[in-house]
Amino acid sequence: MTAGLALIGAALALVPSAQAEDGYDLWLRHAPLEGEALERLRIFAPRVEVELYRGDETPTLAIAARELDLGLAKLGGGTVASASGAGSAIALECGSDPAGAGEYTVRSNAKGIAIGGPGQLSCLYGAYALLRELSQGADPRSLDIVSAPAMPLRMLNHWDNPDGHVERGYSGRSIFDWWHLPERLDQRMIDYARANASIGINAVAVNNVNATAYVLEPRYIEKLARLADAWRPYGIRVFLSARFSAPRELGGLETADPLDPAVRAWWADKADEIYAAIPDFGGFLVKANSEGQPGPQDYGRTHAEGANMLAEALRERGTVIWRAFVYSEHDETDRAKQAYAEFIPLDGAFADNVIVQVKNGPIDFQPREPFHPMFGAMPDTRLMLEAQITKEYLGFASHLAYLAPMWEEVLDADTGHGATVAQVVAPVGMAGVANTGSDRNWSGSDFDQANWYAFGRLAWDPSLSSEQIAREWAAQTFSRDPAFVDAVVPMMLASRQAVVDYMTPLGLAHLMGTGHHYGPAPWVCELERPEWNPCYYHRADADGIGFDRTPSGSDALSQYAPSVAAHWSDPEAIDPAYLLWFHRVGWNHPMRSGRSLWAELVARYDSGVGEVDRMAQTWRGLAHYVDPQRHRAVSANLAIQQSEARWWRDGSLSYWQSVNGLELPAGTRPAAESLDHYRSLSFPEAPGN
């Protein structure tokens, strides 16, 4: 059968003048082509139509056709009727294999372009890939793309609460309108699914891991089913964060012990109820025995016993994703060691449909951490990488911090167990803590959209470079002009290191304010739980600074493979980026630069501030390429970042000086305010608190 698309002919409309944009269209703007790229599209497609082969048109194929219709019309400058006649065809030649992972081919041929693959999602993903290439000015006559996802599960974890508040959310309220579901499905839910499908994301956990039990009630299952129905054609399966104590809170049982027969029966019945409404329900995401959340350890059971009980309830239909983010105030060891200590003895004990989800580093989404030692150390357990797209510790939505280089560092890291982190998680997948919200531009700032995009692209293909992804995103989101892309991409690539330098240089970590994690607070030392205090992590005094994780200290280094530990064991030879993470050294410790540690620390803070100034200057020079509305918005955020980078730098250096009694190196700018001023600042109303 044939479904007609836009007819793009010799009378293509002229490219309209730039108009104000609000960022809602993300990277799916498909801005009109110009010059040679537009002419190539004219030559290739005086008339374009999509032919659907192999069976009837399915909802997924219809969406693929509609996306091509919309995208080609926009790229051509508008939908234009033309005379009938021979023309190039875009043929959707995809099979009906329901198990197809979405692998696709996009190839030019004598008739036009063929998009193929084993399943219907192949055509959808291939359609987005074609538009991505054309949006960057590719020649439609010379395409030859073969692509398959490296990871089966490419997932967003929302920390959204049913009342609309988003924990660690910096872009407005939750996008999920639970109150009006299932009767009313907001168009934003469809646009969200489009964005996810365009970058290969195929699973979404819709609620906070600090879960409420009532999301398992029938009224919420009905709401979730409406979402599942809407997202299914886009290849997205829904997951729920489940509260472990739900059998007590909802079922009236006296216990939630995972070995209790009544508890097991309650979960089995609940799973059956969900699958009756949502046959392709993905499964449960669980945060247990961490930060006060209930779990199997409340009953003397292990993580494996808790996860396996839920896995038994789901049977072969779905998956339990069990988070390895655990730490306890009752454990006096190094917080960085606790997850490894709890989970490594359980290797091989988890059911086949259980995934253990491990954060990129052993603490908590810090600006820079070494990779988590669990990767590679559990060969008989399915491990999944958890990254944070929302920038809880990297400046919220106001600081420009492109995170692909951070994730690339982790994915490329050699675990010392015969595989990189990417190879360890490839059989399972990646999860990203979402940064979407009700703000019109979805993510609070235009550049934070790049992190959503980069997460999806890396989960599909972790061999992609941060630079390649940045170039794709910048060309599609702002301007494909080479002068713009060549200027903005280096700015993006340098941004995360800038944040590291003005916040937590040389391996420092967790220096943020209490609760809201906003702004510097290395002076906080008196909170009830030691691991909540920045002083716990930096351990600075008159003699030195840093956390000793060698055998003479907490010995967290021993959790890594010997070949990896050897690289980090010598404070003279270690990469300076991890020095103070693994070593406590004196303020006069000699650095590779020839400076003392103190002078190097000051230089790093100044480097971070200086890089933000350069970013702002670069952006000012790009106004010609970007619509005024978004250019002003980014400029305003960069001005905030310039101010707050100085706040981080000045507040931190003031505190270190109060501890070490050292003068700033000659020629160094002093802090703008006193230490007392910085200590007096409080932000209980900070976003995401």
pLDDT digits (tens, 9 = 90+) for 507-566: 999 999 988 899 999 999 999 889 999 999 999 999 999 999 999 999 999 999 999 999
Question: pLDDT tens digits, residue range 613-668?
Answer: 999 999 999 999 999 999 999 999 999 999 999 999 999 999 999 999 999 999 99
479 is a domain residue: no
Chain centre to alpha carbon of residue 223? 25
172 and 302 within one domain: yes
**Does 434 share its domain with 510?**
no
Domain-terminating residue out of 85, 115, 147:
147
pLDDT value at residue 88: 83
For residue 384, list its beta bridge partners: 357
Q: Is residue 27 part of a domain?
A: yes
Rounded Cα distance between 626 and 345, Å, is 54
Residue 85: what pLDDT?
A: 44
φ/ψ of 78, rounded to 5, equals 140, 155
Measure the CA dihedral 470/474/475/481, to 10°. -110
User: What was the pLDDT predicted at 477?
Assistant: 98
User: Do 392 and 512 fall within a single domain?
Assistant: no
- Please list the residues that pair with 283 across neighbouring strands: 239, 319
> Regarding beta strands 49-52 and 2-3, do their DSSP bridges make them parallel or antiparallel, or are they unpaired?
antiparallel
Note the pLDDT of residue 135.
96
Residues 620 and 670 in one domain: yes
Inside any domain, residue 567: no
| Residue 414 DSSP one-character state | B
CB-side exposure of 282: number of CA atoms within 13 Å?
30
**486 lies in some domain:** no
Q: CATH no. for residue 376?
A: 3.20.20.80
**Of 147, 179, 207, which one is at a domain's C-terminal end?**
147
Sign of torsion, CA 518 524 528 532? positive
Cis peptide before 182 (omega within 30 of 0): yes
Domain identity same for 119 and 231: no
Could you tell me if 138 and 163 lie in one domain?
no
Q: How far apart are CA 314 and CA 326, in angstroms?
A: 24
Q: Note whether 83 and 180 are same-domain residues.
A: no
Residue 302, CB half-sphere, CA atoms under 13 Å: how many? 13
Q: Is 488 domain-assigned?
A: no
- The residues of the chain scoring below 50 in pLDDT are 1-18, 46, 80-85
C-alpha–C-alpha distance, residues 338 and 444, integer Å: 34
Using the structure block, give the residue that is written with the tokens 């239909």: 317
Counting Cα atoms < 13 Å in the Cβ hemisphere of 401 gives 31
Instruction: Say what the pLDDT of residue 54 is.
Output: 52
- Name the residue range of residue 664's domain: 502-547+584-680
Output the pLDDT for position 98: 75
Domain boundary among 128, 147, 166: 147
CATH, residue 48: 3.30.379.10
Query: Are 43 and 174 found together in one domain?
Result: no
Query: H-helix or E-strand containing 557?
Result: none
Q: Note whether 345 and 412 are same-domain residues.
A: yes
Catalytic residue numbers, as ranges: 291, 364, 392
SS3 651: helix
Residues 247 and 388 in one domain: yes
Nearest CA to 330 out of 530, 141, 497 is that of 530
Q: What is the Cα gyration radius of the chain?
A: 26
Can you give the pLDDT at residue 689? 75
Whether residue 687 lies inside any domain: the answer is: no
Distance between first and last Cα of the chain: 54
Q: Are residues 270 and 203 in the same domain?
A: yes
